Structure 1
Amino acid sequence: MQTVNLEHLHLAATSERFRSAFLSADWWTPDGWPLLLVAHQNGTERVTGKDLCIGLTIPGRVAPLRYAVLGSDERTCEVFRARTAKAGHACVWCEHGDAGSLAVERVAHDLGQARADLVLVALGAAKGEPLAADLVSRGCPGLLIGVGGGIGMSVGTAPSAPPLVERAGVEWAFRLLREPTRLWRRYLVGYPQVVAAAVVVVLRRALGRPVPT
């Protein structure tokens, strides 16, 4: 399962490996207003990685389950583990580091031994989603969900946009202001093309015209 934002669509358009991993997912949920704009045509609601992680910390929100964490950092996982334990969930496996440092065969084996119901892939989309696809192809059990920085944002160890900014749908501006050097090209050059494509889809649907595939 993938919580899809503009980065996913941009990577799918520019990377064959990512596109293959993206299309191999069983479910997608929209994360970000351009995707939500298109999804609303079918009554779909926005679901973010942060939302999913917060849900695991609320007693009674989700039936007790065994989960694993792939990525993030030790401090964040400890805080998240404590909060999810109060909600009746058990963290049965945790592996830190980035996607490049993880041996897929070993991780798949360890997750198989852990018998997790849910695997939270807390890595950047560019490497995390292809890694998750590789694990699934090796028979990794449970539901794998790419949550990016959702775990850290859900427990406050990673910065997240203020609620007003989230409601306005401009989290991208918050992130751009925090990391302009790393994100300016992605947000100001690559993503506008994806937004334009989303607007075209909405307009064509509104006019009753077929949507290009």
Structure 2
Amino acid sequence: MSRILTAGLILFPFIGLFLAFPAAFSWDEAFGNTVIYVIILGFINVWLGIGTAWWLMFTESRWKTSVEWFTFLPLFIPVMASMFGMYIALAQLGLVGTHIGVGLVLLVTTLPYSIRLAYNAMYVIGRTLLEQTLMLAPWTRFGLVLFPLLKETIRTIVLFSTVIVLSQFVLVQLIGAGLVPTVTTRLYQSYAGNDVSLALQNTWVLILVPVLLYLGLGGLFGIWIRLVKGRLQ
């Protein structure tokens, strides 16, 4: 009974969508911005998340505790609480209303979660096992060892950052000053304007982007692991 209830609660938000599908998808600026942000931020989150987690695990610096504390601090503070400070800082740099400003604020929002996910995965694998890769060159270490070991964590980081990016409306609208449209901001506008057709299209984009990413990453991991196995044989 509990499984049926859980499945029902998970599927409940999608019941209405299963009954309607947009006739066509139109590629426009909002759609393009959304895809670019998802791809670039996913890559940067994986790169910085794993790199920072590796540093936290192996560094002997006296600053380690302070860096770790400041790195994970945003996990306990709501984004809305730090939004005004980010706005002031970006305004001083002239980045409000720009793609760079929106990208930076989305990166600041997603990166602490990516670091935590990577750090927890490395902690589970164990420092003893990872220490054996220290003699390898950085790219070899990542491609032949970390990538296969952390493939599910990498996929989680990419999908988690994607979902956060696709969910942000206030940050994008504020930092973008209404000049940087995304699917999410346009979705709110279509709701406000009662444009059911456009709202349906935008909603399906929000669903399909993570699904396609999940499938694409699964295929990429499968191909890469086969190549690594072939090289090691």
- TM-score normalised over the length of structure 2: 0.22
Tell me which protein shows more strand as a share of its residues.
Answer: 1
TM-score norm. by structure 1 comes to 0.23
Identify which of structures 1 and 2 has the higher relative contact order when contacts are C-alpha pairs closer than 8 Å and 6+ apart: 2
